[in-house]
A = this chain, B = another copy of it.
Amino acid sequence: MVLTIFNAVKRVLVGKPFRNDRLAHTLLPKRIALPIFASDALSSVAYAPDEILLTLALAGVSAVAIAPWVGLAVMVVLLTVVASYRQNVHAYPSGGGDYEIANVNLGKYAGLTVASALLVDYVLTVAVSMSSAATYLTTAVPSLHGQQAAIATTGVVILALVNLRGIKEAGSVFAVPTYIFMASILGMTAVGVFQAATGQLGQAPSAAFEIVPEPGFDEGLVGLAGAFLLLRAFSSGAAALTGVEAISNGVPNFQKPKSKNAATTLLLLGVIASAMLAGIIYLANATKVHIVLDPATEFLLNGKPLEEGYIQNPAISQIAQTVFGSGSIPFYIVVAATGVILVFASNTAFNGFPVLGSILAQDGYLPRQLRTRGDRLAFSNGVLALAAGALVLIIAFNADVTKLIQLYIVGVFISFTMSQLGMIRHWGRELKLSKEPAVRRRIIKSRTINTVGFFMTALVLVIVLITKFSQGAWIALLAMFVLFLIMWSIRAHYDNVAKELAVDEDSSPRALPTRVHAVLLVSHVRKPVLRALAYARASRPSRLDAITVDISPEETEATVADWEKLEIPVPLTVLASPFRETVTPIMEYIKNMRRDSPRDLIVVYIPEYVVGKWWEQLVHNQTALRIKTRLHFESGVMVCSVPWQLKSSEEEAKKLQDIQ
């Protein structure tokens, strides 16, 4: 069967399933936890500075000089958010994700809003990070330029397969590249600062280009339009904050004292991320890295447009070229480390998305089957959904990081804001429960920090909404809205079903149907029919009838003759079929029985052939399937399939056993 092939392929690609116990807590020391949870947050320096620079460049070269101030504003927000999440970590040592904090403290609609935002953001994390990784790969291997979409697509597919195999085994693999990335960026910053101090710092490859400002920005960042552009640059730079919340989800994985260690790690993350961001933006400014949306129209060299074929490299790559020299080994290390960390950042989404999906399924917002974990401790369905979403985005936006960023940050700040609001509520409740002054003081301090965090993130959310809505954020918002509706409907459906099916006073677990009326469907008198007959008789029904539908007179005659010859002690009724159709006469017969004795239970025994090959399905059981579907709509009717395993099914059964 097709399923078998699929399963076999899956087994080869994905490996054997894990046992539950292997999930058991492998508690992480801070030095391992930091790289595991930090790759998403740290990796955003690979694209956030570029977005600030190219947005400001719309107002010409003078505006680009403001980049460090924009960077500073982003850093302030980043450190505020880190401080806020340190409070979350202390409040929810069991690992309260933003969804749970909003759900518990603000109610299910808030929770569902955050969940929708997070799901969309996970998809965007994969799309943005893989697209950016593809760009860094083309920086190192220029001949691949123009193939970013294909590279990113391949990357997502590989990552999905790796995650279907189960990712926990790769735990410590994360540590090394993340540390290499930190070391290379911070090292580059140190060398660059030293060169600048000694007057040896060179000029970036793009330093010589003049920037043609957009119409209306000839005088730089002035007026309302200038302010708006500044805010847009800030919004884009805020992409640096994505992934900060990861540690707060992972508190249970830390060594004891969990909360304290997690909070310390979070602080470390904030400091390192800020330092890297500051370093990149400082060096970009010092080496005059010029980055624009469209080099062909916005750059001039000696007053003339650039020659065709100019490839604009990201800021980190240009800085590495300037500090270490193009083609030098340190240059390749920086670029490679950045590319790798971006892939790892995508991978954090592959960890987070299925976990969130299973929590949502547990809460009834997604289909139940997503709740149980798939093979190898990974939630296969979630992995597949995430990969599919990311692939759609990458292909739709041709792996263009700048375009994808416009969709990105809105979801992050929706969940930041909601989560902080939830934390304010949380501390308010805690405050009511506590009398001890020292504890109350600590709670009030935490609440103050979360309040500052709330206003800060809410302000950024408003700025992001204003500056990004028409740029693409509407797509992300629409996707969230649709997800919200879907999940809300699924939950409403499950609630309705649960209400409809709840055991009430009327439902007695001891009531039995008065009589059982068994009906055996007969086509030919063959072994499967005899087996079904035996099974039907073994259940000792009050009454047992065999029925056959008269499609072809000759065959019916043969069936009746065989029936009599075997002296089967059950009457065989022949149903007329004016439409030469099997299902309707049977349905009418059953319905008549229901009408005659509505309190009886009717049990329909259907002999079925169990076959081995997919095409055998096409030539058998089609009618049985249609009858079963129709019978299921009749209340008081139970359908018993009596399988007869054809020899060809044995091999298939063995295969199924090997697989599962």
- Within the complex, what minimum Cβ distance (angstroms) separates A159 from chain B? 23
Contact of A660 among B512, B539, B552, B584 (CB under 8 A): B584
A582 to B373, CA, bound (A): 10
Q: Are A619 and B501 in contact (CB under 8 A)?
A: no
A646 to B630, CA, bound (A): 15
Q: Mark A618-660, 1 if CB is under 8 A from B, else 0.
A: 1110110000101111110111111111110100110010001
Q: Are A647 and B500 in contact (CB under 8 A)?
A: yes
- A622 to chain B: which residues have CB within 8 Å? 367-369
Q: Is A298 an interface position by the 8 A CB rule?
A: no
- Within the complex, what minimum Cβ distance (angstroms) separates A302 from chain B? 54
Report if A652-B633 is in contact (Cβ < 8 Å); known contacts: A535-B601, A539-B540.
yes
Q: Are B633 and A610 in contact (CB under 8 A)?
A: yes
B-binding segment of A111-119, A184-192, A472-480, A525-533: A525-533
Q: Are B562 and A537 in contact (CB under 8 A)?
A: no
- Within the complex, what minimum Cβ distance (angstroms) separates A371 from chain B? 8
Report if A552-B20 is in contact (Cβ < 8 Å); known contacts: A609-B497, A635-B645, A640-B640.
no
B-binding segment of A284-292, A334-342, A433-441, A566-574: A566-574
Q: Is A503 an interface position by the 8 A CB rule?
A: yes
Q: Mark A359-391, 1 if CB is under 8 A from B, else 0.
A: 000100001110111010000000000000000
Report if A579-B20 is in contact (Cβ < 8 Å); known contacts: A535-B601, A610-B633, A638-B642.
yes
Report if A540-B540 is in contact (Cβ < 8 Å); known contacts: A632-B641, A640-B603.
yes
Q: Are B639 and A643 in contact (CB under 8 A)?
A: yes
- Within the complex, what minimum Cβ distance (angstroms) separates A533 from chain B? 6
For window 489-547 of A, CB contacts with B under 8 Å fall at: 490, 493-494, 497-498, 500-503, 507-513, 516, 525-528, 530, 533-535, 537-541
A653 to B616, CA, bound (A): 30
- A551 to chain B: which residues have CB within 8 Å? 371-372
A639 to B622, CA, bound (A): 18
Q: Which residues of A contact B (CB under 8 A)?
A: 17-21, 362, 367-369, 371-373, 375, 490, 493-494, 497-498, 500-503, 507-513, 516, 525-528, 530, 533-535, 537-541, 551-552, 562, 566-569, 577-584, 587, 601, 603, 608-610, 616, 618-620, 622-623, 628, 630-635, 637-647, 649, 652-653, 656, 660
Task: Give the residue among A497, A502, A635 with the most B Cβ atoms within 10 A.
Answer: A497
Task: Give the residue among A582, A637, A640 with the most B Cβ atoms within 10 A.
Answer: A640
Q: With CB as the reference atom, state the residue of chain B lying closest to A528.
A: B501
- Within the complex, what minimum Cβ distance (angstroms) separates A659 from chain B? 10
Q: Are A603 and B510 in contact (CB under 8 A)?
A: no
- Within the complex, what minimum Cβ distance (angstroms) separates A654 from chain B? 9
Q: Are A513 and B534 in contact (CB under 8 A)?
A: yes
Contact of A582 among B372, B507, B581 (CB under 8 A): B372
A358 to B367, CA, bound (A): 43
A580 to B17, CA, bound (A): 11
A17-B579, A507-B527 known, 12 other contacts, Cβ within 8 Å = A372-B580, A373-B580, A490-B619, A493-B616, A497-B646, A501-B527, A503-B526, A509-B568, A535-B638, A539-B603, A587-B660, A634-B643
A49 to B603, CA, bound (A): 66
Q: With CB as the reference atom, state the residue of chain B lying closest to A622.
A: B369
- Oligomer copy total: 2
- A630 to chain B: which residues have CB within 8 Å? 656, 660
Q: Are B527 and A503 in contact (CB under 8 A)?
A: yes
A310 to B436, CA, bound (A): 102
A528 to B618, CA, bound (A): 32
Q: Are B539 and A501 in contact (CB under 8 A)?
A: no
- A373 to chain B: which residues have CB within 8 Å? 580
Contact of A510 among B508, B535, B569, B634 (CB under 8 A): B569
Report if A367-B619 is in contact (Cβ < 8 Å); known contacts: A513-B535, A541-B539, A639-B641.
yes
A367 to B652, CA, bound (A): 22
- Within the complex, what minimum Cβ distance (angstroms) separates A117 from chain B? 23
A128 to B609, CA, bound (A): 42
Q: Are A539 and B567 in contact (CB under 8 A)?
A: no
- Within the complex, what minimum Cβ distance (angstroms) separates A651 from chain B? 10
- A367 to chain B: which residues have CB within 8 Å? 618-619, 622
- Within the complex, what minimum Cβ distance (angstroms) separates A551 from chain B? 6
Task: Give the residue among A19, A369, A618, A656 with the most B Cβ atoms within 10 A.
Answer: A369
Q: Are A526 and B502 in contact (CB under 8 A)?
A: yes
- A584 to chain B: which residues have CB within 8 Å? 660
- A582 to chain B: which residues have CB within 8 Å? 372
- Within the complex, what minimum Cβ distance (angstroms) separates A436 from chain B? 33
A375 to B583, CA, bound (A): 13
- A644 to chain B: which residues have CB within 8 Å? 501
- Within the complex, what minimum Cβ distance (angstroms) separates A572 from chain B? 12
Q: Are B562 and A503 in contact (CB under 8 A)?
A: yes
- A502 to chain B: which residues have CB within 8 Å? 526-527
Q: Are A509 and B530 in contact (CB under 8 A)?
A: yes
Q: Are A581 and B372 in contact (CB under 8 A)?
A: yes
A498 to B527, CA, bound (A): 9
Q: With CB as the reference atom, state the residue of chain B lying closest to A534.
A: B512
A382 to B635, CA, bound (A): 35
Q: Are B497 and A516 in contact (CB under 8 A)?
A: no
- Within the complex, what minimum Cβ distance (angstroms) separates A560 from chain B? 14
- A510 to chain B: which residues have CB within 8 Å? 569
Interface pairs A-B: 4 shortest CB-CB: A633-B653, A501-B526, A539-B539, A632-B643
Q: Are A638 and B640 in contact (CB under 8 A)?
A: yes
- A21 to chain B: which residues have CB within 8 Å? 578
Report if A566-B503 is in contact (Cβ < 8 Å); known contacts: A541-B539, A609-B497, A633-B649.
yes
Task: Give the residue among A19, A633, A652 with the most B Cβ atoms within 10 A.
Answer: A633
Q: Are A493 and B619 in contact (CB under 8 A)?
A: yes
14 example contacts (A-B, Cβ-Cβ < 8 A) are as follows: A368-B623, A369-B623, A372-B580, A373-B580, A490-B619, A501-B527, A501-B644, A509-B530, A509-B567, A509-B568, A510-B569, A538-B601, A635-B643, A641-B641
Q: Are A578 and B20 in contact (CB under 8 A)?
A: yes
Q: With CB as the reference atom, state the residue of chain B lying closest to A618.
A: B367
